[in-house]
């Protein structure tokens, strides 16, 4: 897609007025560092510190910028923030910009810098949430405050939303907001959040991937039952034996490749950039380097065993054994995925779905897609933009219930040698300072044209 006028100064608002020039990157590093410094660990069992302090931080900075934020708690400490930002054309449908405030746990002893220090060192902001996803929270705050100070509203109204609990399925966050406060989102038709807009290097060119869909979520418990007894005797109905056989079979199952429209378009783009054939999708996506680990999971269903529970003493055969499986399925595969899981584990093992959320996908077209692509290419004119299907899940699953068309777009121009996807939930999570500033500039441009 063609870029808009790339001669527009990065610090100028959409009307081009030099008198109202501003820098959307001014506070982005500070906000990222300070948000990381607020521990919002989500343990998944409601024993963490919650998001309240981070929600208050966000609300204070939005209020300082002249907005009227509202904090909505789903339960004590589990806080969400919503704020309406009026646009230059109030007749347009609001754009939902969203980021979550919670983060996954981190063991400080494993890290170079303390995960909740928000250290800025070596051109990076370090800490848990640097890429997932306090980086985009910081971009939103920096851009909003700069534009408000300059009197430069977005082209259309914007609903700013900062959520709780995304890392544990959004039950206290996005889904709760949809269930209990749908009026806030009643007139939104499109949403922008994580995980997309970041660059991978293919054939020495940057390729920006915009998320147009995500796999469905099927967290499962497998349970085998048998007869308990002494470990010295023969046990043909050993629950542990039955369970581990099922877990091994499911973990090793070779799910077939079945690219969705988003991934087919990405494959064709990579084939064009590399001058190779699209006949071997795995080999083609390997051209993305380390990013292939995450992006490559978007062309097939997956099942990964993650937890095992059985027994209480070495010489006692237990009556039951359980395992947890992280299952993800492609759009349109819900029924076939469930049927295949049951076939692979066999009739003697029970399958229970702990969390079951649908897959979603939208087409890579329309005015918002053009605007996102144009905003990226204005800051990086030699790049290429393509859609992809994300292997994980986000708050988009909540907004999709309201019929909102969702995209992942947290723009980051990344070094070619950075294993970016390994930083999601990884040790030494960090984001380049210049990538944060790039993202703030791209987001600022998007608000002029979206």
11: exposed, middle or buried (C-beta count within 10 Å: 0-12, 13-18, 19+)? Answer: middle
Q: How confident is the model at residue 323 (pLDDT cuts 50, 70, 90)?
A: very high
The predicted pLDDT at position 46 comes to 86
- What the block records as the tokens of 390 is 């994300």
Q: What is the pTM of this model?
A: 0.91
Residue 1 confidence (pLDDT) above 50: no
The predicted pLDDT at position 355 comes to 87
Q: What's the mean per-residue pLDDT of the chain? A: 93
3-state secondary structure of 166: helix
Residue 7 confidence (pLDDT) above 50: no
Q: How confident is the model at residue 68 (pLDDT cuts 50, 70, 90)?
A: very high
Residue 375 confidence (pLDDT) above 70: yes
Residue 305 confidence (pLDDT) above 70: yes
**The CATH number of domain 216-357 is 3.40.50.2000:** no
The predicted pLDDT at position 193 comes to 97
**The CATH number of domain 18-212+360-449 is 3.40.630.10:** yes
3-state secondary structure of 356: strand
Q: How confident is the model at residue 277 (pLDDT cuts 50, 70, 90)?
A: confident
Q: How confident is the model at residue 278 (pLDDT cuts 50, 70, 90)?
A: confident
380-407 burial: b if 16+ Cβ within 10 Å, else e: beebbbbbbbbbbbbbbbbbbbeebbbb
The predicted pLDDT at position 14 comes to 42
pLDDT in tens, 73-126: 999 999 999 999 999 999 999 999 999 999 999 999 999 999 999 999 999 999
Give the number of other Cβ atoms within 10 Å of residue 343's Cβ. Answer: 11
pLDDT in tens, 220-233: 999 999 999 999 99
Closest CA to 200 of 407, 437, 427, 420: 420
- Residue extents of the structural domains in the chain: 18-212+360-449, 216-357
Write out the DSSP string of 35-84.
HHTS--B--SSS-S--SHHHHHHHHHHHHHTT---EEEEEETTEEEEEEE
């Amino acid at each position: 897609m063609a870029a808009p006028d790339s001669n527009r100064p990065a610090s100028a608002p959409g009307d081009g007025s030099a008198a109202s020039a501003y820098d959307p990157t001014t506070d982005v590093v500070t906000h990222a560092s300070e948000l990381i410094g607020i521990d919002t660990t989500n343990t998944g069992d409601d024993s963490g510190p919650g998001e309240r302090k981070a929600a208050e931080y966000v609300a204070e900075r939005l209020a300082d910028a002249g907005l009227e934020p509202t904090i909505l708690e789903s339960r004590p400490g589990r806080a969400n923030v919503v704020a309406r930002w009026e646009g230059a054309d109030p007749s347009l449908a609001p754009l939902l910009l969203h980021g979550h405030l919670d983060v996954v746990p981190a063991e400080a002893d494993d890290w170079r810098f303390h995960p909740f220090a928000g250290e800025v060192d070596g051109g990076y902001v370090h800490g848990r949430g640097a890429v997932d996803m306090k980086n985009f929270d910081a971009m939103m705050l920096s851009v909003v405050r700069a534009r408000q100070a300059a009197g430069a509203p977005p082209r259309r109204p914007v609903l700013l939303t900062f959520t709780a609990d995304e890392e544990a399925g959004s039950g206290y966050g996005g889904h709760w907001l949809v269930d209990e406060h749908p009026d806030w989102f009643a007139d939104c038709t499109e949403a922008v959040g994580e995980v997309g807009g970041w660059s991978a290097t293919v054939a020495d060119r940057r390729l920006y991937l915009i998320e147009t869909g995500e796999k469905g979520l099927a967290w499962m418990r497998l349970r085998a039952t048998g007869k308990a007894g002494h470990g010295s005797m023969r046990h043909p109905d050993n629950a542990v034996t039955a369970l581990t056989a099922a877990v091994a079979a499911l973990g090793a199952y070779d799910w077939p490749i079945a690219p969705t429209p988003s991934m087919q378009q990405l494959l064709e783009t990579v084939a064009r950039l590399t001058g190779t054939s699209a006949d071997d999708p795995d080999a083609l996506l390997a051209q993305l380097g380390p990013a292939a680990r995450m992006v490559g999971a978007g062309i097939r269903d997956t099942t990964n065993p993650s937890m095992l529970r059985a027994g209480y003493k070495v010489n006692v055969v237990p009556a039951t054994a359980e395992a947890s499986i992280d299952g993800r399925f492609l759009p349109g595969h819900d029924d076939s995925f469930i049927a295949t899981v049951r076939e692979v584990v066999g009739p003697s093992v029970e399958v229970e779905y702990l969390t079951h959320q649908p897959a979603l996908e939208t087409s890579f077209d329309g005015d918002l897609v053009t605007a996102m692509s144009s905003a990226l290419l204005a800051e990086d004119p030699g790049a290429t933009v393509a859609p992809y299907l994300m292997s994980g899940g986000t708050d988009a699953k909540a907004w999709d219930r309201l019929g909102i068309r969702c995209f992942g777009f947290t723009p980051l121009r990344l070094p070619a040698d950075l294993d970016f996807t390994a930083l999601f939930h990884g040790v030494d999570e960090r984001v380049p300072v210049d990538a944060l500033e790039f993202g703030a500039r791209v987001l600022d441009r998007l608000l002029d044209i979206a």
